[in-house]
């Protein structure tokens, strides 16, 4: 293992050298606020597409996703459709926000919301959501990188020392080169993320003896072993093992921590609402800023179709799933070992709580034959964690500079003062996150888990800005506040605040907290908007939407595209991530009927997922290109200063 540790340091030096190079190079090209905050609004389409893909997915999938598939099986693998869901989110929101950024020179989401609704409340809420991403959410990712290096170096460095060292370098290049450095470094980090996932997936498949051997082993498990999830007991079309089936459309349980769903928690509605929650990534203040950096909208369709839907989709449905399910046959599952179905004892037995350690053990296992590969895979993992963390941490500091310091305290600040403030605030965000991760991982996890769900509550406000002028200021503000409160009280934090006195647990009725919040958010938003008969700001909002209409020309032969697109979207959602997904449990053979009954030589639900993933890529292409939701505006946009 000593040689493997040496290789880790060699690759780490090479990786740091690349990051430092771009930090220095980008710092020399900064001559305006836009250069630092938005890379001069001139990122090439391909740089944007690759960077946006890594920032959206890499950090929270490289370590956790394979481990959760190992723990919860193919019902959790259905959440891999977040590759399509995030792309849908971008299709709806990104282009029109970019158009407003070009027209009015907005730098942050808060500036855009404040200008549109003529009120600063949503600006402040946007900053608060950014802080959830920049402090606890980023700290979770930084903490994971520290744990990984500590384990791979056999404790030469403690978790905290490794975390502070690795993360400190991220802070350095972030404040040196601003958004340009982050974007250019993100390209390589994203490529490393893809390579790491592919290599580990193929490695796991090879250890399992190939695809046929893997599926024969899975068939033995499905037929003879009941996992901790139990059986579906009629939910989802039969009495199937929960590891190989979606446990019904919905289960009206009191919530995780109070009542256990039959066959597992990942019902069709749980998957659907989880997919909706991850749409909060691209409605986050960070992603609005990232969208403003692009030179044109061409990068949006590349990111949505090929980066998110196609590349991330195949990474999740194939290579991540291979890592997760193969582990059952490689020694990680004690029940499989006891039953004698394990192919080999390559991995240590892992409990349900140890699922995050799976990828780390795979990387260690590689070291027994290829020490240099341990170093390379360690850097792949670090890059995946840092590409997401760096973007959220840095943009949070930039948002604080623009939306708080400049707006409230120094409106006349020149670009050097704004950048200096952004660097100091980014450092403050970094230290807050690191201290939180160093002394209370429980608090980090609880607060970090709120970020995406709370960000999803910005959807009605952003839809008002981009599509629906009838959403009023008071409706948007009240909706997002109520939505965030509901999110808190359907998450672990709500249980902590009330001392466990709530009559429900986390995610009651197998519905994600983000959607519970959105239900009340939209309800309040609709009621207040409909009750507002005299709206003095309506004409002001209409000027924004008139701008969209002038720059969006629809050809007469495209009049059927919108209804067809809407129909395709509804059908896809129903069968891929909605109630129709339960047909995947048995349509290609019942999971517990034996390998010979599996029509495609693999679990029915896995085949179903891959088919609907491929159809989802086609859907994103149709929405992005045929409906022109991610193409260039038909007319050139002239910038004006507000």
Confidence of residue 599 (pLDDT cuts 50, 70, 90): very high
| pLDDT computed for residue 553 by the predictor | 65
Confidence of residue 552 (pLDDT cuts 50, 70, 90): confident
Question: What backbone torsions phi and psi does residue 506 show, to the nearest 5 degrees?
Answer: -80, 130
Q: Supply the mean pLDDT for the chain.
A: 93
pTM over 0.85? The answer is: yes
Average pLDDT over residues 488-509: 92
Residue in this structure with the two tokens 């160093």, named with its chain if needed? 438
pLDDT at 179 over 70: yes
Give the range among 376-380, 383-387, 398-402, 498-502 with minimum mean pLDDT.
Answer: 498-502
Average pLDDT over residues 53-75: 93
Closest CA relative to residue 629, chosen from 73, 93, 75 = 93
pLDDT at 2 over 80: no
| pLDDT computed for residue 440 by the predictor | 87
More confident residue, 369 or 574: 574
Running DSSP on this structure, what letter comes out for residue 630? S
Q: Are 140 and 455 in contact (CB under 8 A)?
A: no
Name the strand (E) or helix (H) holding 275.
helix 268-278
Percent of the chain with pLDDT over 70: 98
Structure tokens at 563: 């209804």
| pLDDT computed for residue 554 by the predictor | 60
| pLDDT computed for residue 1 by the predictor | 58
pLDDT tens per residue across span 412-440? 999 999 999 999 999 999 999 999 999 98
Q: How far is CA 587 from CA 246, 316, 597, 600, 608, in A?
A: 13, 22, 11, 11, 8
Chain centre distance of CA 602: 28
pLDDT at 299 over 60: yes
pLDDT at 557 over 70: no
| pLDDT computed for residue 500 by the predictor | 85
Query: How far does the chain reach from its first CA to its final CA, in angstroms?
Result: 60
């Amino acid at each position: 293992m000593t040689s493997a540790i040496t290789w880790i340091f060699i690759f780490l030096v090479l990786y740091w050298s690349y990051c430092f190079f771009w930090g220095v190079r980008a710092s020399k090209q900064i001559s305006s606020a836009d250069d630092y905050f938005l890379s001069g609004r001139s990122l090439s389409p391909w740089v944007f597409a690759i960077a946006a893909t890594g920032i959206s997915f890499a950090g929270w999938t490289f370590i956790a996703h394979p481990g959760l598939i190992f723990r919860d099986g193919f019902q959790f693998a259905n959440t891999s459709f977040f590759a399509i869901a995030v792309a849908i989110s971008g299709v709806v929101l990104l282009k029109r926000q970019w158009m407003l950024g070009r027209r009015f020179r907005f730098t942050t989401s808060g500036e855009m919301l404040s200008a549109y609704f003529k009120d600063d409340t949503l600006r402040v809420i946007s900053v608060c959501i950014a802080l959830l991403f920049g402090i606890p959410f980023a700290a979770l990712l930084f903490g994971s990188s520290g744990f990984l290096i500590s384990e791979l170096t056999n404790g030469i460095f403690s978790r905290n020392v490794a975390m502070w060292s690795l993360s400190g370098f991220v802070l350095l290049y972030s404040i040196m080169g601003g958004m340009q450095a982050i974007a250019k470094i993100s390209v390589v980090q994203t490529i490393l993320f893809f390579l790491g996932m592919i290599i580990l997936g193929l490695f796991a498949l090879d250890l399992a003896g190939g695809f046929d051997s893997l599926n024969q082993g899975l068939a033995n498990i499905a037929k003879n072993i009941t996992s901790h999830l139990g059986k579906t007991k009629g939910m989802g079309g039969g009495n199937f093992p929960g590891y190989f089936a979606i446990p019904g459309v919905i289960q009206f349980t009191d919530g995780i921590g109070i009542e256990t769903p039959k066959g597992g928690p990942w019902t069709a509605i749980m998957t659907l609402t989880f997919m909706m929650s991850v749409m909060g990534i691209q409605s986050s203040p960070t992603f609005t800023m990232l969208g403003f950096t692009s030179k044109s909208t061409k990068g949006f369709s590349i990111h949505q179709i090929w980066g998110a839907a196609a590349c991330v989709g195949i990474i999740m449905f194939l290579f991540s799933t291979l890592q997760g399910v193969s582990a059952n046959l490689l020694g990680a599952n004690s029940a499989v070992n006891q039953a004698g179905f394990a192919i080999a004892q390559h991995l240590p037995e892992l409990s349900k709580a140890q699922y995050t350690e799976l990828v780390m053990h795979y990387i260690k296992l590689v070291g027994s034959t290829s020490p240099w590969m341990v170093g390379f895979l360690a850097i792949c993992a670090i890059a995946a964690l840092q590409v997401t963390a760096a973007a959220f941490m840095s943009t949070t500091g930039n948002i604080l500079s623009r939306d708080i310091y400049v707006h409230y305290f120094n409106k006349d600040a020149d670009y050097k003062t704004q950048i200096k403030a952004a660097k100091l605030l980014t450092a403050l965000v970094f230290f807050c996150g690191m201290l939180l991760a160093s002394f209370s991982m429980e608090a980090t996890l609880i607060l970090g888990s709120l970020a995406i769900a709370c960000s999803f509550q910005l959807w009605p406000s952003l839809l008002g800005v981009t599509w629906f002028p009838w959403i009023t200021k008071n409706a948007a503000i009240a909706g997002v506040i109520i939505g965030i409160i509901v999110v808190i009280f359907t998450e672990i934090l709500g249980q902590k605040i009330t001392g466990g006195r709530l009559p429900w647990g986390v995610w009651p009725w197998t519905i994600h907290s983000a959607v519970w919040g959105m239900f009340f958010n939209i309800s309040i938003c609709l009621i207040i908007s409909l009750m507002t008969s005299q709206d003095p700001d309506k004409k002001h909002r209409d000027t924004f939407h008139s701008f969209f209409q002038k720059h969006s020309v629809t050809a007469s032969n495209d009049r059927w595209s919108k209804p067809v697109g809407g129909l395709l979207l509804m059908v896809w959602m129903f069968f891929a991530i909605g109630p129709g997904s339960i047909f995947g449990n048995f349509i290609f053979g019942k999971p517990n009927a034996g390998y010979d009954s599996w029509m495609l030589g693999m679990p029915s639900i896995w085949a179903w997922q891959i088919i609907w993933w491929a159809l989802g890529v086609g859907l994103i292409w149709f929405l992005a290109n045929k409906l022109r939701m991610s193409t260039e505006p038909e007319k050139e946009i002239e910038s004006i200063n507000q």
